[in-house]
Amino acid sequence: MMDMTIIRLAEVLADLLGRDDAPPKVYPARYVTVALAAAITGLTDKAIRRKIEDGVWVAGREYMRAPDGAIMVDMQGVEKWVGKGQASK
């Protein structure tokens, strides 16, 4: 949340100053691929897939399947899971 505030502040300041070299707008996605979730969390792809297979991460809570069947990790769900400090079985 703090990162979004800083980015927004930088955008507003750049607009006020009329500068063309404003920072790029980067908005984090709620649902990300397993590979990106691994890079963000520090877990391996295999660890993420194992949590899904073992039922530690629940469909609709920590992940979901896209219409094409791809696994999409819900970063908000993962944050809540980590905040619990225990497995969500």
Residue 20 is assigned to a structural domain of this protein: yes
Residue 38 is assigned to a structural domain of this protein: yes
Residue 56 is assigned to a structural domain of this protein: yes
The structural domain count of the chain equals: 1
Residues 6+ apart with CB under 8 A from 71: 33, 34, 49, 52, 63, 64, 65
Residues 35-77 have pLDDT tens digits of 999 999 999 999 999 999 999 999 999 999 999 999 999 999 9
Could you tell me the pTM of the whole model?
0.67
Residue 61 is assigned to a structural domain of this protein: yes
CATH number reported for the structural domain that contains residue 42 in this entry: 1.10.1660.60
Q: Which residue range(s) make up the domain with 7?
A: 2-84
